[in-house]
Amino acid sequence: MNNGKYKGRIAPTPTGFMHRGHAKTFLAAQRRARERGGRLILRVEDLDGDRCRPEFTDALVEDLLWAGLRWDEGPDTGGPSGEYTQSKRSAVFVGAWRALRSQGAIFPCDCSRKDVLSAVQAPHNEGGEPIYPGTCRNRSTAFWSESEALESNWRMRVPDGETIAFTDENLGNLRFVTGVDFGDFLVWRKDGIPSYELAVVADDIAMGITEVVRGEDLLLSTARQLLIYRALGATPPAFYHCPLVRDASGNRLAKRDKAQSLRELRAGGMDPKML
């Protein structure tokens, strides 16, 4: 847990090689930690077993070090790396799920993405994302055993029409409205894996993170995660959302864009100071 001092994190997902956008965001996180005399964690978010591959995980540390990143805790610091790898932290996530379930903050759901998309009058937010229509909201949360319960999808019970407001350290005052910008969202999948929303909140609480620095594409996730922090009775960290790095055509960088990967840039002789 946090001792009152600044603690930040960089949290790459090894579903491809890191690109310039990742490096710039992570360097911003490093700068903010150093300016405040704080510590920086490297956490590998490798819960997507289908897309996270060993070669990407192996390359991750090497590429980040080349880009000028240095961290105080995590892989390649001489300590145990497993505790900073999400695939080895299932007990933390199950504990958070239990806490949410015990207070009725989540409910089991049988709906597939296709079911949500095809639901009659299912609303969408401005980005076109379907808002869950509440099909399973009144379903019983009782199961024969915890192991059986963990084999079901679970959604956060999101209050309708509540304004979620927070002050971003970079973008200023922001507001999202539940039921308009997002609805009941997944926190647990029937394959026994937590959603991104639950996993990062549980880990950031456990690791005592005081500020989250990440891309502005995750602003809606921040609004969702604030509800999880509240339900868990935890104080949320500060947030600093960085502008996305885009290519010459104005498209946001993606891991499939090999020309912008740190591997390709290094192979081409680029000076990492130019990132």
Three-class HEC string of 57-126? HHHHHHHHHHCCCCCCECCCCCCCCHHHEHHHCHHHHHHHHHHHHHCCCEEEECCCHHHHHHCCCCCECC
Say how many C-beta atoms besides its own lie within 10 A of residue 5's C-beta: 11
Tell me how far apart the alpha carbons of residues 106 and 63 are, in angstroms, rounded to a whole number.
Answer: 39
Tell me how far apart the alpha carbons of residues 61 and 17 are, in angstroms, rounded to a whole number.
Answer: 11
Closest residue by Cα to residue 83 from 207, 213, 189, 198: 207
Quick check: is 255 catalytic? yes
Q: Which of 7, 114, 190, 255 is labelled catalytic? A: 255
Q: Which amino acid is at 68?
A: G
**Residue 201: which H helix or E strand, with range?**
helix 196-206
Catalytic residue annotation: 255
